[in-house]
Amino acid sequence: MHHSSIMAACIARGARASRTGRRQSSRLAFVALGSNVGDRAAQLCAAWRRVQRTLGPIVASSPLYDTAPQLVTEQPRFLNAVVAVKTSLPPLDALAKLKEAERAMGRQDRGRYGPREVDLDLLFLGDEAFEAPSLTVPHPRIGERDFVLRPLRACRRALSGDCELVDTFLKERWGGDFLGEDVDGEERRVWSALGTLAVAGAKTGVMGVLNCTPDSFSDGGLHFDIEAALRSAETMVAHGADYLDVGGESTRPGAVPPSLAEELDRVVPLVEKLRQFAVPVSVDTRRADVALAARTAGAAATNDVSGGAYDGSMLSTLAADEWQRGVVLMHMQGEPNTMNSLASYEDVVAEVSSELQERVRAALDTGIAPWRLVVDPGLGFAKNTEHNVALLRDLPRFKRALGGLPVLIGASRKRFLGELAGEPEASQRDAATAGACVAALPAADVVRVHDVRTCVQALRVADAVLR
């Protein structure tokens, strides 16, 4: 069926659709988001929140796509995405909310196809067809725009059930494989949760560990002095670290948590001084007050080993940041003092995935955009050697279960590597760590390590072969 005949069928169906402007029962709206001015990812995350607040709950989101401009090509590249929203708003009210959001986010009028801070378009509204001078639904030019079709397909793939008109459009474009995987094209899937834009699947990022604690399991005390920490950070960056991760609380078994004031004193001054290296910084903390202070000091992300469950205000604190920065949600059972006694699973991959899905849903429901989320299966946290090996072996299944969110792996120097390699001394497990990092490819997007140089070299080779 050609695009024109699809539109004709939609308009004919509109004879039985409501044109009165009255609020209707809830149905799915598909909304396209785009930006090519300023911090594109931050603006799409802010737009995601506004759509959720004003139209209704977002039930599915596509990945972000970096796309070339069309029609007016002399302008910056766009970030594009599509979200599916449950809404009871009639078409013109939905359009009004989207235009109001554009204005609130500072969109400037640069012509019809010119650059824009944010662009929000209503693509579909249930199976309704609607025509008015200011709006036609379904959007009449979807079929001409791969930069909309590709994220639309990805968003639709995340939904179960029938979406008749959406499926009709996608079948016209891709035939019987209209919900297949992305193919190579001008559009590139990207993610930006840790403070820099990365092309999905292109390389493995390396995060260097800076534990500014006296009692971390393999490097306690090494970075307790801020000048020593800065020297280590400089070395890590020189060796190719993509990110730095600052921790002010040891989460090794038996560790005693520091006071809030002590954790703040350890973390915040170091984060402020790390700005000089121009590498994104995450802060490893379970406390919302530390996460907020660290963000104010310049941190690009919060790395929470409890998945946002330890501090009841963590997720709401992170969501309150209008432009939002990254959130790493890790899986852990219990507390550092009790987690080893909770290492019991029938299917560790399925159970860890399911429990992390709950934390992801909690983050989304609180208002954290999906493009700011990274998931971590929590190797070594309430898992024995068998469990850790199973997670590494079946990491692709874990990633699929989490909807393809970026995956961070933190295996560095952990006990299970010592058991596998026969190395009792944690500081001597860097070769074993590199082996675990390579084993995590290509599903792992970032690895968190103490020895950046060894890991970067191993991953450059592994990425060249496996990606």
Residues with a known catalytic role: 414, 448
3-state secondary structure the chain: CCHHHHHHHHHHHHHHCCCCCCCCCCEEEEEEEEECCCCHHHHHHHHHHHHHHHCCCEEEECCEEEECCCCCCCCCCEEEEEEEEEECCCHHHHHHHHHHHHHHCCCCCCCCCCCCCCEEEEEEECCCCEEECCEEECCCCHHHCHHHHHHHHHHHHCCCCCCHHHHHHHHHHHHHHCCCCCCCCCCEEEECCCCCCEECCCCCEEEEEEECCCCCCCCCCCCCCHHHHHHHHHHHHHCCCCEEEEECCCCCCCCCCCCHHHHHHHHHHHHHHHHHHCCCEEEECCCHHHHHHHHHHCCCEEEECCCCCCCCCHHHHHHCCCCCCEEEEECCCCCCCCHHHHCCCCCHHHHHHHHHHHHHHHHHHHCCCHHHEEEECCCCCCCCHHHHHHHHHCHHHHHHHCCCCCEEECCCCCHHHHHHHCCCCHHHCHHHHHHHHHHCCCCCCEEEECCHHHHHHHHHHHHHHHC
